C-alpha cells in the first residue's frame, strides 16, 4: 500500500482555504501531522514548516503587472522556499508554458498544474463537487499526475482519468493552463456579447423614437438563454450593478493571455499562417477588452475599479468609493 502523502498548502486565500477545509474535513488530515499550512500574511496565522510535506499545493496570487502580464513572482518565491525533492502542484492561474518552464528551472521537484474552477459565491460547493478535475503534467512529472488526482474530489471530467469518470484524457500542463484561461476568457466574451446585444436594445429604442417599438434586453436575454447550446450564465448585463465584466479574474486573465500571445508572436515567422492567425485572434481579444473598458468608462468606472473580489466590490459600494 502506498504510504499517505503529507500535504502542504502555500497561500490560504480564496483557493487555498477550501483546499485546506477539504483535506481536514473530507480526507481527515491533521494539521501538524500530515497537513502543513503557510501564508506570507502573518495575520492569517499559518506559519507551518511546509518542507515537512511530500506534496505542496501552491495557491498564491498571480496579479496583473502594469504591462498586463501575469506576475508569477509569488509562485517562484514559494518554490524557492522548498527544500529537497517535492511534488509541487501549482493551482495559481499561470500563463501557458509556465509549469514546463518552472520544471526546467527547478528540476529537483516534480511540478504539476491543477487549475481551480471555484466561484466566489460557491467556493466550497465547487471544491467538493467539481465538474472538472485536471492535473496537467510537465515533461518530468507525468507519472505523478494520477497520484495527485486520486487525492482530490472526483469530477465528471478528469485528467489523467480515474475509475468512475466519464472520459479518460491526459492533458499536459500547458494544455491545462490554456484551458483555465480559455474558460475565463469565454466568460468575459459572453459578458461582452450580452452587453453588445443590450446596446442594440437601447439604440433601437432611441432610434425609433417610440417606446413601443423598442426592445427590452431582459426579454431578449431570457429568450436567448433558453437555447440549450447557450444557457443563462454571464448574460446578466447588470451583474454587480454595473455593465461589463470585472472581478478578480476576468480582466487580469484577458490581459495576461493577450500578453502571452504577443510573446509567442515574437518567436514565430511573421509570414507564417500561425503568425497571421494568432495576430488576428489577439486583435479580436484586444477589441473585446477595449469595448469593456469603454463600457466601464461610460459608467464612471475603470478596469482597476472592478478588478476586485466580490466581497471587496460590495464593500466599495457600501463605502461609496465608486
The residues annotated as belonging to the active site are: 249
* Cβ–Cβ < 8 Å for 239, 291: no
DSSP 156: S
**Other C-beta atoms lying within 10 Å of the C-beta of residue 243:** 21
- SS3 at position 113: strand
Q: Which helix (H) or strand (E) holds 158?
A: strand 157-159
Task: Show Cβ contacts of residue 159 under 8 Å, excluding neighbours closer than 6 positions.
Answer: 133, 134, 135, 136, 145, 149, 169, 170, 171, 176
* Cβ–Cβ < 8 Å for 110, 144: yes
Instruction: Kindly state the cell numbers that stand for 29.
Output: 488530515
Phi, psi values for residue 110, rounded to 5° = -110, 110
CA distance 37 to 45: 9
* Cβ–Cβ < 8 Å for 136, 159: yes
Strand pairing category for 136-137 and 55-58: unpaired
DSSP 64: B
CA distance 48 to 40: 11
CA distance 258 to 68: 8
DSSP 159: E
Strand pairing category for 136-137 and 157-159: unpaired
3-state helix, strand, coil in the chain (%, to 5): 50, 10, 40
Amino acid at each position: 500500500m502506498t504510504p499517505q502523502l503529507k500535504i502542504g498548502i502555500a497561500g490560504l486565500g480564496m483557493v487555498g482555504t477550501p483546499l485546506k477545509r477539504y483535506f481536514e474535513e473530507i480526507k481527515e488530515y491533521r494539521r501538524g501531522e500530515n497537513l502543513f499550512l503557510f501564508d506570507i500574511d502573518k495575520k492569517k496565522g499559518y506559519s507551518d514548516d511546509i518542507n515537512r510535506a511530500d506534496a505542496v499545493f501552491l495557491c498564491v496570487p498571480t496579479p496583473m503587472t502594469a504591462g498586463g502580464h501575469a506576475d508569477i513572482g509569488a509562485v517562484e518565491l514559494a518554490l524557492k522556499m522548498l527544500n529537497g525533492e517535492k511534488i509541487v502542484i501549482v493551482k495559481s492561474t499561470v500563463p501557458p508554458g509556465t509549469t514546463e518552464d518552472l520544471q526546467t528551472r527547478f528540476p529537483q521537484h516534480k511540478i504539476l498544474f491543477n487549475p481551480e474552477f471555484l466561484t466566489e459565491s460557491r467556493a466550497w460547493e465547487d471544491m467538493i463537487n467539481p465538474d472538472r478535475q485536471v492535473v496537467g503534467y510537465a515533461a518530468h512529472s507525468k507519472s505523478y499526475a494520477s497520484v495527485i488526482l486520486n487525492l482530490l474530489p472526483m469530477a465528471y471530467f478528469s485528467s489523467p482519468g480515474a475509475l468512475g469518470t466519464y472520459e479518460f484524457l491526459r492533458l499536459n500542463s500547458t494544455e491545462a493552463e490554456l484551458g483555465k484561461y480559455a474558460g475565463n476568457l469565454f466568460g468575459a466574451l459572453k459578458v461582452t456579447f450580452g452587453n453588445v446585444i443590450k446596446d442594440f436594445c437601447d439604440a433601437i429604442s432611441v432610434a425609433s423614437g417610440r417606446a413601443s417599438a423598442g426592445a427590452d434586453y431582459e426579454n431578449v436575454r431570457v429568450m436567448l438563454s433558453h437555447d440549450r447550446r447557450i444557457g443563462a450564465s454571464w448574460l446578466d448585463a447588470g451583474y454587480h450593478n454595473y455593465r461589463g465584466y470585472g472581478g478578480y479574474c476576468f480582466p487580469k486573465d484577458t490581459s495576461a493571455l493577450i500578453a502571452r500571445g504577443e510573446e509567442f508572436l515574437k518567436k514565430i515567422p511573421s509570414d507564417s499562417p500561425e503568425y497571421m492567425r494568432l495576430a488576428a485572434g489577439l486583435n479580436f481579444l484586444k477589441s473585446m477588452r477595449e469595448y469593456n473598458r469603454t463600457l466601464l468608462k461610460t459608467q464612471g468606472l475603470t478596469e482597476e475599479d472592478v478588478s476586485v473580489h466580490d466581497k471587496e466590490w460590495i464593500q466599495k459600494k457600501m463605502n461609496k468609493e465608486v
